Amino acid sequence: MRRKLAAGNWKMHGSVSALAELTTLAAQIDPQGCETVICPPATLLFHACQLVTSTDIAIGAQCCHPQPHGPFTGDVSARMIAETGASYVIAGHSERRDRYAETDAEVQAQIRAAWRENLTAILCVGESGEDRQAGITLDTIATQLAGSLPDGANGENVVIAYEPIWAIGTGDVPTLAQIGEVHDFIRAQLVRRFGDTQGKTIRLLYGGSVKPSNAADIFTAENVDGALVGGASLQAADFLPIIQALNDA
C-alpha cells in the first residue's frame, strides 16, 4: 500500500507569522490519513520544523545544491536542509528548470545529494504547452525520468510529481483522461526500470492548479497517490479540503 501524500509548495511566499497556518493545519488533519508535507522558503525551514515537532506534518525544502558545501553564494545544500530537521526536498520543479536552466543531469545530482542526507526527494516532471500541442508529452516525460531519476529509486527515497507546466498557476487543468494517461505511463516506466515491486512503491503526485473545487475529481484518476499543491497550500482553510478529498478518495 502506498500512503497518500499531500505536499504544499509555498514557493517564495510566507513569513514567520504565516507559519501559524501550520498550527491550524496540524490541529485538524487526521493522523491516520494521508501524509502531509509543507515546503516553505529556506528562511522558514528551521522555524517550521520546530513548530511541527510532535505533529503529523513533515517539512521539506524547495530545492538544494548538489554539493555539501563550497563557494556557491545564495545556495543551500542538502546537508544544511537536513540540519534544520526537514525530511523532504523538491527537485526539478519546472520553475527551476526554466528560470535557472537546471538540466536533467543537475536535477539527478540534487536527488543524489538529498539521498546522502536521508532526505526524500520530490522529483517534478512535466511537459510544456508546446509539447502537449505537438503530441510529445510522453516523450518529454520519459526523457525527464531517464535523465533526472537516479538508479536506486524506491518508495522511501523518492516521490514523483507530474506537473504539466501549462497548468501551473493558470487555473487550467488537464482532463482526467490526460492525467490518467501520464500517471499510468510514469508507473509503467518505473516498473520497467526498477521492477514490479520497487516500481509500484513509488508515489505519484499530480500538481497544477489543484484546488478544493477540483481535488476530488483529480484523485479519482488511477495511479494518482496525492498532490503537489501551490497557492492553495498557503492557508489551512484551502489546503484542508484538498487533504480531506485525498483521504476520501
Residues belonging to the active site: 93, 163
DSSP 38-90: EE--GGGHHHHHHHTTTSSEEEEES--BSSSSSS-TT--BHHHHHHHT--EEE
**Using CA atoms, how far apart are residues 107 and 66, in angstroms rounded to an integer?**
8
Contacts of 215 (CB under 8 A, 6+ apart): 227, 241, 242, 245, 246
35 HSE (CA, 13 A, CB side): 18
- Cβ 148 vs Cβ 104: under 8 Å: yes
Integer Cα distance of 166 and 227 in angstroms: 16
Nearest to 95 by CA among 228, 190, 233: 228
> Which residue shows C-alpha cell 536542509?
81
Taking alpha carbons only, the member of 131, 151, 124 closest to residue 229 is 124
Provide φ and ψ at 81, rounded to 5°.
-65, -45
Q: Cα-flanking dihedrals φ and ψ of residue 86, to 5°?
A: -70, 155
DSSP classification of residue 135: T
Q: Report the candidate in 89, 70, 96 with the shortest Cα–Cα distance to residue 78.
A: 89
